[in-house]
Structure 1
């Protein structure tokens, strides 16, 4: 993967993270329209599912009006703040057997971030396995020059984390959101991550593992008990 492409993909990941990070404003909507989002993304849609996600997002933006800001704010709160839609943006809720927060996925990702010199700013407010932080990590990793080993680590992170739960998150939000924008945002994010994983496989010349192979790979690594770690401010750079 050349540096120019990696930079464009990093910008994609940051743009998607920003849309999951905070409420939409009239200014943000106008900026997205002016940029031609999502057609301005560096990773263009390939395949029917991706093309549909891109098309639906373009349509959602076209029909979103300033009068919809209250509905958009309500959707944002129901997804990312109150849990009213039962669609947590944190991986542990989807992958833990008891659907609890701050479980194995959070600690696994904390180790991945630490290896890159990163740490969540406040894991109690936004755990390490939150969707926004995972997307920001992708952006960080894509900006770091590296060879096949770095690409394999990035591919493994997608296999073992984002791509294990994003489909369920996206489908739940799509079924319950009141606004077209948030109904499709998760689907667009998943489609983009899927394409990124395919691009990594192509760059490495290595086939993607099956779901069964990924689950088997993870099984021996699961902890018997998740023990909270003390948070140490300033121990590493944060987002």
Structure 2
């Protein structure tokens, strides 16, 4: 994703600015973990840092705590010295999730929100508009569509880094409601239930739990209720306008189209 500079105002307290920076770094980290299969060096660093303990937002709700514990167990279960066969297994699992849809858990929002589960549908264009409003664009949407999980996480990292006012946080909450959180939990649960390695199950569950707990934190910070899933779906789903059908009458017959 490439960007242009965007001017922002001021208004957040020092504490909230610090939180925004920490969350920005967290989303950047999560995006990188979904972006490619891990190598031995990355796995060593994650284990040495007892990831995800180092995340800026500490997860305290039950779902978040369980995801953190699961991720730590997944990393601890890996061999101290990762052999090529171990890395190949992770690479194959990555491909099944993110490249060849081997486990039918697409990282694209459109697949989850479109009635026919198709790629490059309304959600992709809606997300693209968000990017454009912030001077951002996908490097190549034909390779990685705009509504890809990695790009949405990178976008949230950008929004939190640039956030300066409460209105900026409201905008972030709206993007999460209207896009990422419409499908992330379903994606995470399917990956965890079908993937071949605890590592990628942990990454998926952690990302889902982190995003949900962060959104609940924004409810408290903004002092504004979170829209229900039904309200979001009613807002986001395109309204089909039925074309009026002319009714013709023929002698001796009832109405025909």
TM-score over 0.5 for the alignment?
yes
In the TM superposition, 1:180-199 aligns within 5 A as 180-199=198-217
SS of structure 1 residue aligned to 2:76: helix
Give TM-score, length-normalised by structure 2: 0.84
Deviation track 1:65-85 (CA, whole Å, cap 9, x = no partner) reads 213211111100000111111
1:143 is matched with 161
2-structure distance, mates of 1:224, 1:125: 30
Give the number of aligned pairs.
223
Matches within 5 A, 1:119-158: 119-158=137-176
2:137 counterpart of 1:115? no
Q: TM-score, normalised by structure 1?
A: 0.90
SS of the equivalent of 2:136 reads: coil
Cα RMSD (Å): 1.4
Higher mean displacement: 168-177 or 107-116: 168-177
- In structure 1, what is the equivalent of residue 110 of structure 2? 92
Q: Structure 1: any 5+ residue segments left out of the alignment?
A: 226-239
Separation of aligned partners in 1, 2:103 and 2:140 = 24
Distance (whole Å) between structure 2 residues aligned to residue 200 and residue 138 of structure 1: 13
Match of 1:236?
A: none
Three-state SS of the structure 1 residue aligned to 2:120 is coil
State the Cα distance separating 1:64 from its structure 2 match. 1.5
User: 167, 170, 183: which one pairs with 1:165?
Assistant: 183
Higher-Rg structure is 2
Taking the aligned partners of 1:46 and 1:136, their CA distance within structure 2 comes to: 24
The answer on whether the counterparts of 2:109 and 2:124 sit within 8 Å (CA) in structure 1 is yes
Higher helix share: 1
Deviation at 1:224, TM superposition (A): 5.9
Paired with 1:95 and 1:145, the residues of 2 have a C-alpha distance of 28
Cα separation, 2, equivalents of 1:82 and 1:214: 30
Shift of 1:217: 2.1
